[in-house]
Amino acid sequence: MILTILGGGGFRVPLVYQAVAAARARVDVDQVVLLDDDPDRLATMTRVLAQLADEAADAPAVRATTDLDDAVTGADVIFSAIRVGGTAGRTHDERAALGEGLLGQETVGPGGLAYALRTVPVADRVAARIAHLAPAAWTINFTNPASIVTEAMRARLGGRVLGICDTPIALVRRALRAVGRDPLAFDRGDVEVDYAGLNHLGWLRALRADGRDLLPGLLADDAALAGLEEVRLMGADWVRALGALPNEYLYYYDFTREAVAAIAGQESTRGEFLAVQQGGFYAAAAAEPGRALALWREALAVREATYMATERESADAGARESEDLGGGYHEVAVDLMAALLGAEEHRMILDVANRGDDGAAILPGLPTDAVVEVPVRVDATGVHPLALRTSLAPAMLARVAAVKASERLIIEAARTRSRETAWKAFAAHPLVDSAAVARRLVDTL
């Protein structure tokens, strides 16, 4: 089986390779193809993976290429993890927003829209080549902003493209652990969850086991709540007021002033920090190729320990718990592959079209072709959305609808190159508070 990774020179590629190598008994990937348009980064990651393979008993072979058609031809699964514009684009997006007093963050708000504006044309081209050269392949999209990019790629790939993120399933597992249950109980289907929204904009609103909802008891338990990252960020009182556990990225929506102030008060944005830190890694690995893996591990530890550090400091949330470190999107991807291509069945939370198996909208009020983030059952027959027993509260649905409208406008703007449509997209977003500011952002970007 061939797995192709688009963005194969990216820093997190070894995490995917390790997860795939460890799961060969579940899904037998015998070759990993790395695609990147930066040959130097590609060479560095190839060395890191070679050194990882030396530590493993039966690691997949690795092949690198800078040609898209070569990379996708013959692929069974394609991971899309590209960053159009690189870290320079990210830092520009963040600074442009901060310059207007708005949230400067990679995926949420104006930063995410800017990222999408650059990325959608490339995602469209990639999807077209996949549809032509590997129409039977499953495309698993990691590229942010995942909701927008997955929806754009669906125009060519339909249901063969799925968006994934580790934050929803991590939230579910933390909640299960907090109520004394096996964190993997949802994965197996032993518990039922009502989680709904968009990527980086969703809420866990019910957690059912043995015929009862465990979430109210968790919300009433001070000690259990205190162990949840989302509660440390946003406070137990706010979570109780919501009557739900929010995805940690809701911090940027619910505590926008605090987030902006904290980010603006730092010497560097997250993008600027990573540009220096990862740039240092690639330079050092090129200078000492024999230590590429050791250098990557050192850089990874710093990257993960500093994830959302500014936000946690602003919220006085303390250090991140050890079980929250090491983002697990690569493990989610392996579970997804093992279900689609193997003999396993998993309950997951994925970015899919807003259409159940019965053809009705999963989230009423949104178009059925809009991409939403909801629980699904995955097996060899495909991806099957699970029914939600509780509807989103009106305020939650209103926010989701507003963000989705903005996302769909930004896709249109990217495809038509219309500045007016881009202006409307920025102005429609809840985190952009002025049409005049929205227009200046478009001009700046």
pLDDT in tens, 31-66: 999 999 999 999 999 999 999 999 988 899 999 999
Cβ–Cβ < 8 Å for 271, 91: yes
Residue 52's pLDDT is what?
96
pLDDT at 308: 67
Identify the weakest region by mean pLDDT among 15-19, 132-136, 274-278: 274-278
Collapsing DSSP to helix, strand or coil, 310 comes out as helix
| 278 CA to centre of own chain | 19
Q: What is the pLDDT of residues 241-255, one digit of tens each?
A: 999 999 999 999 999
Q: What is the mean pLDDT of the chain?
A: 94
Residue 296 makes CB contacts below 8 A (sequence gap 6+) with 11, 14, 48, 281, 285
| Token pair recorded at residue 90 | 């990210």
Is 353 within 8 Å of 384 (Cβ atoms)?
A: no
User: What whole-number distance in Å separates Cα of residue 35 and Cα of residue 139?
Assistant: 14
- Average pLDDT estimate for 123-146: 97
Q: 141-156: per-residue pLDDT in tens?
A: 999 999 999 999 999 9
Give CA–CA dist 72/157, Å, rounded.
14
Q: β-strands 212-213, 201-209: how paired?
A: antiparallel
pLDDT at 261: 95
Check residue 328 and give its pLDDT. Answer: 78
DSSP state of 444: H
User: Rounded to two decimals, what is the model's pTM?
Assistant: 0.94
Rounded Cα distance between 406 and 192, Å, is 31
> What is the mean pLDDT of the segment spanning 370-399?
95
Closest by CA to 164, choosing from 411, 327, 373, 9, is 373
51/292 Cα distance (integer angstroms): 8
Could you tell me if residue 261 is left (phi over 0), alpha (psi between -120 and 50 degrees) or otherwise beta?
alpha
Given a cut of 70, is residue 198 above it in pLDDT?
A: yes
- If pLDDT is split at 50, 70 and 90, which confidence band does 169 have? very high
pLDDT grade, residue 327 (50/70/90)? very low
Q: Which residues contact 406 (CB under 8 A, 6 or more apart)?
A: 113, 425, 426, 428, 429
b/e map 335-356, b = 16+ CB within 10 Å: bbbbbbbbebebbbbbbbbbbb
Residue reference for tokens 């193809």: 33
In this model, does residue 13 exceed pLDDT 60?
yes
User: What would the mean pLDDT of 121-147 be, rounded to a whole number?
Assistant: 97
pLDDT tens-digit map of 271-326: 898 889 999 999 999 999 999 999 999 999 988 887 666 665 666 655 555 444 33
For tokens 């997209």, the residue is 425
Q: Are 372 and 362 in contact (CB under 8 A)?
A: yes
Structure tokens at 262: 């904290």
> According to the model, what pLDDT value does residue 270 have?
85
In single-letter form, the type of residue at position 417 comes to R
Contact 350, 376 (CB under 8 A): yes
Structure-derived torsion over alpha carbons of residues 246, 248, 250, 252, reported in degrees to the nearest 10:
160
How many other CB atoms are there within 10 angstroms of residue 201's CB atom? 24
